[in-house]
Amino acid sequence: MVGVENVWIYVIIGVVILAGAIAYGVNLTRGRGGDTRTLDREAPSAPALPGEDLDRRPAGTGTAAPPEAPPAPAEVETAGPQAPPEPAPTEPAAPTIERPESARGRLARLRARLARSNSALGKGLLALLSRGKLDEEAWEEVEDTLIASDLGVEATTELVDSLRVRVKVDGTTDEATVREWLREDLLTLVQPDMDRRIASSRVGDRPAVVLVVGVNGTGKTTTVGKLARVLVAEDREVLLGAADTFRAAAADQLETWGARVGVATVRSDKDGADPAAVAFDAVKAGIEEEVDVVIIDTAGRLHNKVDLMNELGKVKRVIEKQSPIDEVLLVLDATTGQNGLQQAKVFAQAVDVTGIVLTKLDGTAKGGIVVAVQRQLGVPVKLVGLGEGPDDLAPFDPEAFVDAIIA
């Protein structure tokens, strides 16, 4: 029995020793004893917080999370809800600058539109002149047709007398022959030898200065905007002056026209400013910026208002204190006929008109106004408006005009 009891004692002691060894081994595995630096090298370390130096963490902070559930990086790196990322700054879109086509030959391209508006003049004359027999009554009808077209009494008499001689000498009223005679005589009346160039190039060390005048409702501000397009198409550097300070929307309208082709506008910040001061500032800016041409828009005014015409004279004098005015363009509505001629006379006396712009020529059969106004003022028609489009302002071409009339 004694032997058996000793055996159990040895078994119990062995079990205790074995249990202690197992417990000690478990503690070593969990880092609770022995050399922790060695264990840290063998066990995966916890991810560092942003900006933390792994080599400088205190001992004992490198224990790893259980391998099956590692902490998500987003949970370690952020302490709260993330703010939405700010959108990247975007550059504002540059305004689109239009590049108009050259205005050369534009009147010829618009010939059909002009021909439709003047059909009563051309076709009516050809129908009368191509009759088998031209008696006095027929010639009176020819005269009436020409006068109704605003050709004027003097010019009408000249044209009819010339045609009478041609018919009498040649003895024919063949339509093709009459058409050629009519073309030659009309072209003579339109005076193709007149200088129709517009001042648009620098003069010495200063820009050319163009003053645009006219009565209310003739499309003056629109004409200035379209003229800027014509000159930009010819590679001119243009500056606009908004000296129409009485109409609230005039400066905005002009500025919009200029911006479309990259042309700056000098204007006043307040309504009712002195138009002469705005014109002066525009010319001054043109000189400083060394542009090719400065175009000054003025307020529309009735030709029979003496105070307003005197004010226009003041604008001209103020501009001339720093620069001569190279061009004064009078904008006339072609549909006003003889009334337009009276307007032209008064404006010419006030500001020395150098050229005429005829607007709305596509809306009238009175193409004779071209001849009449040139004779009245002794200055050429330089531009004609043949529509509402931005590029429907055309340099006046006498031959294209006459061809359109008798087309």
297 carries a ligand binding annotation:
yes
On the 0-12 / 13-18 / 19+ scale of CB atoms within 10 A, 8 is exposed
361 carries a ligand binding annotation:
yes
CB-CB contact of 147 with 157 (8 Å): no
Buried b (16+ CB within 10 A) or exposed e, 131-152: eeebeeeebebbbebbebbbbb
CB-CB contact of 398 with 192 (8 Å): yes
CB-CB contact of 47 with 71 (8 Å): yes
Q: List the structure tokens of 51.
A: 């900006």
| Pairwise CA distance, residues 370 & 375, whole Å | 9
Please enumerate in sequence order all residues whose Cβ is within 8 A of that of 36, keeping only pairs 6 or more positions apart, or say none: 59, 60
Q: φ and ψ at 73, to 5 degrees?
A: -55, -35
220 carries a ligand binding annotation:
yes
CB-CB contact of 189 with 373 (8 Å): no
214 carries a ligand binding annotation:
yes
Amino acid at 50: P
| Pairwise CA distance, residues 381 & 395, whole Å | 9
301 carries a ligand binding annotation:
yes
218 carries a ligand binding annotation:
yes
Helix, coil or strand: residue 328: strand
- For every residue of 142-191, DSSP letters joined together read HHHHHHHTT--HHHHHHHHHHHHHHHHHH----HHHHHHHHHHHHHHHH-
For residue 71, the number of C-alpha atoms closer than 13 Å in the C-beta half-sphere is: 15
Q: List the structure tokens of 400.
A: 């294209």
221 carries a ligand binding annotation:
yes
31 carries a ligand binding annotation:
no
355 carries a ligand binding annotation:
no
CA distances from 259 to 219, 233, 264, 281, 297 (A): 19, 14, 7, 19, 16
307 carries a ligand binding annotation:
no
197 carries a ligand binding annotation:
no
157 carries a ligand binding annotation:
no
Q: List the structure tokens of 31.
A: 């880092």
Please enumerate in sequence order all residues whose Cβ is within 8 A of that of 210, keeping only pairs 6 or more positions apart, or say none: 198, 199, 200, 227, 293, 294, 295, 296, 325, 326, 327, 328, 329
345 carries a ligand binding annotation:
no
366 carries a ligand binding annotation:
no
359 carries a ligand binding annotation:
yes
> From the annotation, which residues make up the binding site?
214-221, 297-301, 359-362
> From the annotation, which residues make up the binding site for GTP?
214-221, 297-301, 359-362
